[in-house]
Amino acid sequence: MAATKRVVLVTGSSTGIGAEIAKGFAKEGASLCITGLPSQKDELAEVAKVCKENGSPHVLEVAADLRKQEDMDLLMNETIKTFGQLDVLVNNAGILVYYDIDTYTGEDFDKIFSVNVKAPIYLTKLAKPHLSKTKGNIVNMCSIVREWYVKPLLLYGMTKASTAYLTKSTAADFAENGIRCNAVCPAVIAETEIFNGIVSEEVQQFYYKDGVTKLHGRTTTKSEVSDLIRFLASDKATMITGELVNIDGGKLVLMTS
């Protein structure tokens, strides 16, 4: 399929990595559906503006709370109503709660699993018939935390382990429909709002130091993650499916060797 004709839906695209992903696809000429919380309409509008400046022929903005099934139905329905097709679903939206087994609450558990697990699987279900028509693909946002012990990230790590299983299951189940599914797995990306907004400066410095790689002496950037996602979603990756691609400068390798 020609890049200029692709329709890409990116969740959690009002800020952070999601915004960077949307801007990257815009440079390739893709039409976009971008989405964020109703409280993030201003941020969403700014991302849409940049995407149009970057070359996207059409940017649809949909305010949606992914904890609500009706909002996800609206998101998919508006995408298809507007563009008539879907070629790429990027399940990027995610939240971080910073608790261990002694400090988490049931509310914390429900909140993070609702956004990080229930939303991707439901949107994947909604996307299947549309992606079957375009022989499109899905890219999920995972994390090396699925295999990396970090005590206060118990719930977050559990959700990313679920994302890994969803990715491989989807790849196997959807292969006969011509749909690929992969996941990208970053380490620390200290420049994102999800990181800067949830933990103290002291903890930020600790994880930034822990995320610095020997390869480059720095953490992974948003643009590097965006580049990888666009590659996995492209025709250059037609034989890649069911993969969890780490983008961490070798951090996980060094920690598990």
Catalytic residue positions, numbered: 156
Write the DSSP symbol of residue 221: P
Helix-then-strand count for the chain, H and E: 10, 7
What is the β-pairing status of strands 88-91 and 137-141? parallel
Q: Return the residue matching tokens 């801007």.
A: 23
Q: What b-and-e string marks burial along 183-202, b requiring 16 or more CB atoms within 10 Å of the CB?
A: bbbbbbbbbbebbeeebeee
> Residue 32's beta-bridge partner residues?
8, 59
Tokens of 110: 């429900």
- Cα 31 from chain centre: 18
Strands (E), the chain: 7-10, 31-36, 59-63, 88-91, 137-141, 180-186, 244-247
Query: What is the spatial distance between Cα 7 and Cα 136, in angstroms, rounded to a whole number?
Result: 10
